[in-house]
């Protein structure tokens, strides 16, 4: 049975590859694909679909340009091209987000803001990104520009808010590179706090412009409930949440685990993750900015043990270095959350050849009308052994694996070159000042009113010199 709700832009856009099929037929197609790719590892459960598979995307981004008639257009890039397909409303995108983008497009001319032309290097606005919290209702608008100049930006934001007073925050992101990436490294908050908060399950999460956050909130809860069920936590386990993003899975797991270690290489996401853990009083969670493969290799080398490893890698999947480290750390259970069954099959092949067996596999339809399939897999160690836990300072270990100096190396350098003795607390304060520490200070006072000793200026200068010597500044 063909789909009776077909987008008029289907052939031009190419984003929704399956919308010619009815939704039950789409689920059947995805189930068959999952079985074809993963069936050799065991039974594949029936895919979990949506009751309402429309307007589920809480993150909408639009490219801006000019058509042949000189009119400003906004929309999506045509599949396998760099041509913009004009879009005012989309069947899978949040309706409010689409309306905000249309308003921005209409405002540009009166404020003499031109879309950026990649060929000539002229113009200003490249993209607009909108995130909307389904339960909180908060809205984040990101104006991506090719340079820092945005003519009349305060008045522009004021005009936008007049038409959409429900907007929570507006951010200008600067992307000056010749790149296919939407966002650049630098952002300026034009209105509001620069982030939004959203509820997921019993938790509240902070979402900033560059942080990863699942785009389908309804199915995300289904996905995470499945992952935690597979983790089988009893309250005594050490859990490693690899590729942790803003810490959502790890914080979900924190109530049922002894401790959770989250690892993510996106510094903005880690900053949000730390804030999320504090907001949700997840005191047994620590987050680190590091490459997941390097981090787990470091754990293996240090003799550190994890009972459960949860990994949610990008579409390219994990890599052999990370998977090798998993088998060395040898957790009793591995929960693999995958957005690509092809790379999942490759990685399951490695793990099953190195001591694990696939116990359960559950596909989840996170992206209706597209070919994408999310799958949660549980792997268990075939011959688990008793592990002796070794007390290892994970902060020191991850710094060393990233090629950064440890606290002891910094102390030694300062003593040798200045004759001063400095504490870990002073080093942490200086690192925090320069934005290169992702955890709370050492020896934090128990009372909010307690006074904490501050690093003297002379020692701060010596520590700063040490940080420069080790290439950390």
Compute the Cα dihedral for 406, 412, 418, 423 and give only its sign.
positive
Within 10 angstroms of residue 92's Cβ, the number of other Cβ atoms is 20
Compute the Cα dihedral for 232, 234, 239, 242 and give only its sign.
positive
Answer yes or no: are the C-beta atoms of 62 and 74 closer than 8 Å: yes
> CA angle, 7 as apex, 5 and 12 as ends, to 5°?
155
φ, ψ for residue 59 (rounded to 5)? -125, 120
Residue 455 a catalytic site member: no
Compute the Cα dihedral for 432, 437, 438, 441 and give only its sign.
negative
β strands within 32-176, DSSP E: 59-66, 72-77, 84-86, 125-132, 139-145, 169-174
Residues 141, 168: Cα–Cα separation, whole Å = 8
- CA distances 464 to 53, 418, 453, Å, are 54, 12, 18
* Among the listed residues 305, 214, 203, the one whose alpha carbon sits nearest the alpha carbon of residue 254: 203
Q: Which of 7, 13, 16, 339 is catalytic?
A: 339
Residue with the two structure tokens 């606290």 = 407
Residues 7, 11: Cα–Cα separation, whole Å = 9
Residues 87, 76: Cα–Cα separation, whole Å = 7
Non-local CB neighbours of 173 within 8 Å, separated by 6+ positions: 129, 142, 143, 144, 145, 183, 184, 186, 187, 209, 210
Q: Which are the catalytic amino acids?
A: 339
């Amino acid at each position: 049975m063909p789909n009776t709700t077909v987008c008029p832009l289907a052939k031009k856009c190419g984003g929704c590859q399956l919308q010619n099929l009815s939704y039950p037929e789409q689920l059947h197609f995805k189930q068959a694909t999952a079985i074809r790719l993963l069936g050799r590892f065991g039974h594949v459960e029936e895919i979990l679909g949506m009751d309402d598979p429309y307007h589920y995307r809480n993150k909408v981004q639009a490219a801006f340009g000019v058509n042949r008639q000189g009119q400003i257009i906004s929309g999506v890039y045509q599949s396998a091209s760099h041509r913009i397909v004009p879009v005012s409303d989309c069947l899978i995108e949040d309706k409010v987000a689409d309306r905000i983008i249309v308003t921005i497009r209409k405002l540009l001319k009166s404020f003499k803001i031109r879309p950026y032309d990649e060929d000539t290097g002229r113009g200003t606005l490249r993209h607009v990104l909108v995130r909307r919290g389904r339960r909180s209702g908060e809205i984040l608008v990101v104006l991506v520009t090719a340079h820092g100049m945005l003519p009349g930006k305060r008045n522009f934001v004021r005009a936008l808010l007049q038409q959409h007073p429900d907007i929570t925050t507006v951010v200008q992101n600067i992307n000056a590179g010749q790149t296919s990436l939407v966002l650049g490294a630098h952002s300026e908050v034009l209105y509001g706090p620069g982030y939004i908060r959203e509820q997921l399950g019993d938790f509240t999460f902070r979402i900033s412009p560059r942080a990863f956050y699942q785009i389908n909130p309804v199915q995300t809860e289904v996905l995470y409930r499945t992952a935690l069920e597979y983790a089988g936590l009893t309250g005594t386990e050490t859990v490693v949440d690899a590729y942790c993003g803003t810490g959502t899975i790890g914080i979900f797991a924190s109530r049922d685990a002894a401790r959770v270690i989250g690892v993510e290489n996106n510094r903005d996401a880690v900053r949000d993750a730390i804030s999320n853990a504090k907001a949700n009083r997840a005191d047994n969670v620590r987050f680190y900015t590091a490459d997941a493969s390097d981090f787990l290799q470091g754990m293996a080398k240090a003799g550190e043990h994890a009972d459960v490893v949860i990994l949610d890698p990008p579409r390219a999947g994990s890599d052999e270095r990370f998977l090798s480290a998993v088998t060395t750390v040898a957790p009793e259970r591995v929960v693999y959350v995958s957005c690509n069954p092809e790379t999942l099959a490759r990685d399951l092949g490695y793990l099953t050849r190195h001591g694990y067996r696939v116990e359960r596999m559950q596909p989840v339809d996170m992206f209706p009308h597209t070919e994408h399939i999310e799958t949660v897999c549980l792997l268990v160690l075939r011959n688990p052994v008793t592990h002796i836990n070794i007390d290892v300072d994970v902060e020191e270990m991850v710094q060393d694996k990233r090629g950064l100096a440890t606290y002891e190396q910094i102390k030694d350098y300062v003593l040798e070159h200045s004759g001063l003795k400095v504490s870990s607390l002073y080093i942490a304060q200086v690192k925090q000042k320069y934005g290169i520490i992702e955890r709370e200070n050492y020896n934090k006072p128990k009372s909010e009113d307690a006074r904490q000793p501050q690093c003297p200026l002379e020692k701060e200068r010596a520590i700063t010199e040490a940080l420069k010597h080790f290439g950390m500044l």
